[in-house]
Amino acid sequence: MIDVEERWAALQAAGDVVLLDGFHALKHALRFGATVPLVVTTDRAELRGLAAELAPDLGVIDAEEVPAALLRRLVPRPHPTGVAALALRPQPVDNARTSPFVLLENPRNLGNIGAVVRLAAGFGAAGVLTTGEVDPWHPTVVRGAAGLHFATSVARTSLAELPVGPLFALDPEGESIHGVAFPDDAVLAFGTERHGVSDDLKGMATRIVAIPMRPQVSSFNLATSVGMALFHWQGRGRPQPVDVRTPNGRP
């Protein structure tokens, strides 16, 4: 058991590894091509049963069986499935995209970020970009996304380094989303949970768009808003041309 613990520590010390907390995170990571050098479980037979039931496409998953006490040392809050793993963090891939990016401006809630990553993966978005200090690859975010970071692109960025393409800022003061079609090269920007989109981001936006909401309701949840916007993009008709002659000159 010391050998497993030492291997775990060595991988973490080497850096650029991601904690996969629970079977579902491991399943998605493997399904979408992650390199996973070490898997541990408190019950190898149970892990095989989960794989056979929920991920037969993956075949047999090699894992080291460890006592529950050791798993608690490796993972502060072990998943109920008793499975954990370390995966190599993928390098960003700069491919021509055919779907929008989701931009989260200075998000704070780790669970929200994880839910957004899960939505982006499910809708086939190009990826999730975040500004601010929170790492979108934080273990709590990866757990909330069920390992679907490996099914899309997830990275931290700045407002000065956004991908090329029309920027749509989602804000209650904008025009109704019902009259707007998001093109495939769009960047869909969402503000902080408390303050919304910043004035700087609004000033950069090609268009400001609102999701209609009942009066006297303060706001939608961040992940809910992202889900509605991506659903709107996915179910849109033919995109309408975006006027590129904006005052700020942004394409």
Domain count of the fold of the chain: 2
Q: Which amino acid is at 177?
A: I
Q: Going edge to edge, which strands form the sheet with 207-210?
A: 153-156, 127-130, 101-104, 187-190, 167-176, 207-210
At 78-97, the pLDDT tens digits run 999 999 999 999 876 665 67
Residue 11 domain boundaries: 2-88
Residue 246 located in a structural domain = no
Residue 242 located in a structural domain = no
pLDDT of res. 243: 47
Residue 94 located in a structural domain = no
pLDDT of res. 218: 67
Regarding whether 119 and 66 lie in a shared domain, the answer is no
Among 88, 117, 150, which residue terminates a domain? Answer: 88
pLDDT of res. 134: 93
Residues of the chain with pLDDT under 50: 237-251
pLDDT of res. 25: 94
Regarding whether 108 and 62 lie in a shared domain, the answer is no
Regarding whether 197 and 152 lie in a shared domain, the answer is yes
Regarding whether 169 and 136 lie in a shared domain, the answer is yes
Q: What is the CATH number of the domain that holds 217?
A: 3.40.1280.10
Among 29, 54, 88, which residue terminates a domain? Answer: 88
Q: How far apart are CA 245 and CA 249, in angstroms?
A: 6
Regarding whether 163 and 134 lie in a shared domain, the answer is yes
pTM: predicted TM-score of the whole model, two decimal places: 0.86
pLDDT of res. 250: 42
pLDDT of res. 249: 43
Residue 244 located in a structural domain = no
pLDDT of res. 236: 66
Regarding whether 192 and 105 lie in a shared domain, the answer is yes
Regarding whether 189 and 112 lie in a shared domain, the answer is yes
pLDDT of res. 156: 94
pLDDT of res. 23: 96
At 133-153, the pLDDT tens digits run 999 999 999 999 999 999 999
pLDDT of res. 95: 59
Q: Going edge to edge, which strands form the sheet with 17-21?
A: 17-21, 83-88, 38-41, 64-65
Regarding whether 222 and 174 lie in a shared domain, the answer is yes
Regarding whether 108 and 14 lie in a shared domain, the answer is no
Q: What is the CATH number of the domain that holds 59?
A: 3.30.1330.30
Regarding whether 84 and 106 lie in a shared domain, the answer is no
Residue 240 located in a structural domain = no
Residue 14 located in a structural domain = yes
pLDDT of res. 28: 95
Cα diameter, the chain? 64
10 Å Cβ neighbour count for 19?
20
Q: Taking the CA of residue 108 as centre, how many other CA atoms within 13 Å lie in the half-sphere pointing to its CB?
A: 7
Beta-ladder partners of 17: 88
Regarding whether 79 and 132 lie in a shared domain, the answer is no
